[in-house]
């Protein structure tokens, strides 16, 4: 009876998984089709059109997708650095330092989690436009450097929960040895909360990699285009859309996210499960 129940559960999960994976299979198959084959009921073409990848890579005049990839990594790496540094410093202050109205400011920070991003779009755009930051990456770097940006309050809360679980006796021992607060943060706290930092890095990478709206809002020169913005170049309202090339390049666009997730999966799971237990 137990064997029958176990087999039924595994078969059910397999069927549900295949149903959920169907759009991915269709995506891969469609990226190998020509425009004429897009309406075909076949999941995969009889003769794969591999040229969609090579032609799509160089489809933009004067630019290739290598240029757009480099732009994207330049943007994401800057956001990762500023976000991790700022959020970890703010979290350390909330978790370890005793300053006036600490609980009040922590509560205010948590309230911002419920603030819709759309509420701040217009004032931020007006402010960045007056400062001459449009068509640069500064609208992405500076908010993260100030512990804001995409996911900032959530990252701070996650790191605070980790840091509060670290025994304060370590701080006292470090002070006796002459260590400053920054030394405690750099030499003790950061190594001990490494799983949480990896979790923050993965979330920050994925959310900003997929941030089409923000990139479309602040970047208007093709020279600074990221992969997300480059994909919309395939859509021409006055002509035919090369769907095979578009889907092939969109498939290439998710490769870094998938690779990074699987490489850091162990740290990601460790960070989330430990955060749940320590919170």
Asked whether the predicted pLDDT for residue 11 surpasses 50, the reply is yes
* Residue extents of the structural domains in the chain: 66-278
Q: What is the dihedral of CA 232, 234, 235, 236, to 10 degrees?
A: 130
pLDDT in tens, 214-226: 999 999 999 999 9
Rounded-to-integer distance, Cα 141 and Cα 84, Å: 12
CA angle 170, 175, 181 (to 5 degrees): 90
Instruction: Report which of residues 132 and 61 the model is more confident about.
Output: 132
Average pLDDT on 41-50 reads 88
Q: How far apart are CA 151 and CA 260, in angstroms?
A: 19
> Looking at per-residue confidence, does 271 or 147 come out higher?
147
pLDDT for 279 equals 45
pLDDT at 46 over 80: yes
More confident residue, 34 or 117: 34
Rg of the chain taking only CA atoms, in angstroms: 23
pLDDT, average across residues 249-266? 86
Mean local confidence (pLDDT), 133-155 = 87
Q: What is the CATH number of domain 66-278?
A: 1.10.3720.10
Q: Is this prediction's pTM over 0.75? A: yes
Evaluate if residue 121 carries a pLDDT over 80: yes
Q: Where are the alpha helices (DSSP H) in the chain?
A: 2-30, 51-57, 65-96, 102-111, 117-130, 138-145, 152-165, 169-176, 181-183, 190-192, 194-209, 212-218, 227-231, 243-253, 255-263, 265-278
Burial class of residue 63, CB neighbours in 10 A (0-12, 13-18, 19+): middle
């Amino acid at each position: 009876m137990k064997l029958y129940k176990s087999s039924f559960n595994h078969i059910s999960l397999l069927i549900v998984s295949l149903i959920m994976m169907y759009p991915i299979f269709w995506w891969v198959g469609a990226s190998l089709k020509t425009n004429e084959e897009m309406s075909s009921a076949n999941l995969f073409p009889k003769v794969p059109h591999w040229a969609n990848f090579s032609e799509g890579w160089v489809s933009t005049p004067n630019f290739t997708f290598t240029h757009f990839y480099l732009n994207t990594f330049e943007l994401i790496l800057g956001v990762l650095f500023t976000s991790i540094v700022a959020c970890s410093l703010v979290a350390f202050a909330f978790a370890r330092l005793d300053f006036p109205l600490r609980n009040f400011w922590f509560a205010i920070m948590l309230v911002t989690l419920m603030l819709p991003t759309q509420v701040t779009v217009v004032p931020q755009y007006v402010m960045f436009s007056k400062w001459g930051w449009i068509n640069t990456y500064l609208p992405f770097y500076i908010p993260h450097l100030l512990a804001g940006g995409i996911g900032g309050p959530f990252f701070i809360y996650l790191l605070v929960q980790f840091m509060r679980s670290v025994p304060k006796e370590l701080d006292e021992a470090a002070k006796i040895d002459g260590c400053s607060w920054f030394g405690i943060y750099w030499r003790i706290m950061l190594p001990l909360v490494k799983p949480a930092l990896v979790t923050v890095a993965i979330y920050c990478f994925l959310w900003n990699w997929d941030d089409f709206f923000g990139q479309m809002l602040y970047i208007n020169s093709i020279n600074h285009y990221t992969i997300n913005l480059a994909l919309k170049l395939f859509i021409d309202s006055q002509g035919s859309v090369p769907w095979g090339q578009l889907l092939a390049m969109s498939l290439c666009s998710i490769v870094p996210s998938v690779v990074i997730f699987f490489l850091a999966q162990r740290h990601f799971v460790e960070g989330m499960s430990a955060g749940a237990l320590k919170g």
